[in-house]
């Protein structure tokens, strides 16, 4: 089973770079040829194109869901009613859900299960390569969640 772990965000916009930082931590701890690790500052259709050819995907991104800063949450993409992750939808692009549905309709091999690990962010529009202290402290917790999900062979149990 081919898996993609992808950190989303912009590493020069403060907390928005947390997805990249989590992926860096994960990459240091895995050595599995069936897992690819990447970072991207894309959403919608472009993000969907990155997912082609994978059986499962784990996306890590900054979120704003009004939880305490640094809270780590897990979501299934197909269960989200709102586009609460910052890089899975845009006013100038299709949402990731819509892009995946379109890709599948055109015959693309896309993941059957997309898990989002969201880290509650504070400063996502400030030019900085630094994370807020609470978000920085969440990086190891989020990396551990990714590693736990990678241990599961076929289906992610979020309970």
Per-residue pLDDT, 1: 86
- Report all structural domains of the chain as residue ranges with CATH numbers, in order of start: 3-151 (3.40.50.1450)
Listed residue (34, 37, 6, 31) closest to 115, CA to CA: 6
> Which among 80, 83, 74, 67 has a CA at the least distance from the CA of 121?
67
Position 69 scores a pLDDT of 94
Q: What is the mean pLDDT of residues 62-66?
A: 89
For the chain, give the mean pLDDT. 86
pLDDT, tens only, 102-133:
889 999 999 988 999 999 998 887 898 889 99
Tell me the β-bridge partners of 76.
115
């Amino acid at each position: 089973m081919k898996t993609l772990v992808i950190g989303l965000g912009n590493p020069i916009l403060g907390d928005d770079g947390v997805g990249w930082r989590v992926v860096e931590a994960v990459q240091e701890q895995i050595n599995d040829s069936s897992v690819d690790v990447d970072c991207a500052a894309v959403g919608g259709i472009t993000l969907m194109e990155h997912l082609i050819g994978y059986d499962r995907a784990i996306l890590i991104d900054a979120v704003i869901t009004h939880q305490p800063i640094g809270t780590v949450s897990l979501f299934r993409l197909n269960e989200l009613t709102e586009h609460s992750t910052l890089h899975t939808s845009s006013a100038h692009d299709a949402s990731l859900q819509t892009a995946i549905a379109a890709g599948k309709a055109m015959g693309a091999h896309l993941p059957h299960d997309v898990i989002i690990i969201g880290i509650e962010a504070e400063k996502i529009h400030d030019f900085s390569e630094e994370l807020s202290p609470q978000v920085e402290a969440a990086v190891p917790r989020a990396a551990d969640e990714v590693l736990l999900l990678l241990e599961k062979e076929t289906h992610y149990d979020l309970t």
